[in-house]
A and B are shown apart, each in its own frame.
Chain A
Amino acid sequence: DVKVTQSSRYLVKRTGEKVFLECVQDMDHENMFWYRQDPGLGLRLIYFSYDVKMKEKGDIPEGYSVSREKKERFSLILESASTNQTSMYLCASSLYGRRKNYGYTFGSGTRLTVV
């Protein structure tokens, strides 16, 4: 069963900590994405990557960075966690191609609480 795996289901961190959220996919997808989901705001794109070591900013990249050293792994980094980064974080992957008619496969999400 192909899937996207996020390393933690729930995470509690302190303000100022450096936080790593890991995402691994086993579908050989080129594209990987990080979204955050907040009530009333839907899903907002933080960063995405279309290849190893490539990354592009999404709509809300401030306070975050990403790393893609291997095709299957895409990490989201909160350099100095703040309480306004308390959220549900969702990782997704998809195929890459000019036709672009591909759906995303999502992980189960990581609910991060910053205290």
Chain B
Amino acid sequence: SQQGEEDPQALSIQEGENATMNCSYKTSINNLQWYRQNSGRGLVHLILIRSNEREKHSGRLRVTLDTSKKSSSLLITASRAADTASYFCATDLNYGGATNKLIFGTGTLLAVQP
């Protein structure tokens, strides 16, 4: 199965509410990244958290990382209709080279109702 698996697969909330998405992975990582994809478009990098970090913030985004549980969560606070998109976690594995090869999960589809 995928290295990164998001939960839930789909999430529907009202504007102004918070949205939380979770990601679990299997092997040791160098860092974990979150991306957003609007329908039918390319992915946009949101935030990166290193394996020695536990929490990181960027605007309305908060990411946590628990390496002992091999899991991460993405919290979007005060959601807006424009946040409607698919969200993917991606793990940068310690595979030895200098190229960071990312393995993506299957994504969480977030729908924010106005």
Binding site for B on A (CB under 8 A): 4, 30-31, 33, 35, 40-45, 48, 50, 56, 58, 88, 90, 92, 94, 96-98, 100-109, 111
CB-defined A-B contacts under 8 Å, sample of 15: A31-B99, A33-B101, A35-B104, A42-B2, A56-B99, A88-B40, A90-B42, A94-B100, A97-B98, A98-B98, A102-B100, A103-B48, A104-B33, A106-B42, A109-B41
A100 touches B107 (CB 8 A): no
> Contact at B102–A104, with CB atoms within 8 Å?
yes
Interface residues of B, CB < 8 Å — how many? 27
Task: Please give me the residue from chain B that is nearest to A109 by CB atom.
Answer: B42
B113 within 8 A of A: no
Instruction: Give the complex CA separation of A41 and B104 in angstroms.
Output: 10
> Does B97 touch A at the CB level, under 8 Å?
yes
B56-111 contacts to A, CB under 8 A, are: 88, 90, 92, 97-107
Report how far A33 CA is from B42 CA in the complex, Å.
Answer: 13
CB nearest to A98 among chain B residues: B98
Taking Cβ atoms with an 8 Å cutoff, the residues of B that contact A are: 2, 30-31, 33, 35, 40-45, 48, 50, 88, 90, 92, 97-107
Q: Could you say which residues of chain B place their CB within 8 Å of the CB of A4?
A: 42
Q: Which residues of A contact B31 (CB under 8 A)?
A: 100-101
For A95, the closest partner residue in chain B by CB is B100
- A96-B98, A97-B98, A108-B41 known; 6 new pairs, CB 8 Å cut-off, are A33-B102, A35-B104, A101-B48, A103-B45, A104-B102, A106-B45
How far apart are the CA atoms of A43 and B42 in the complex, in Å?
11
Q: Given that A100-B31, A103-B33 are contacting pairs, would A43 and B104 also be in contact in the complex, using a CB cutoff of 8 Å?
A: yes
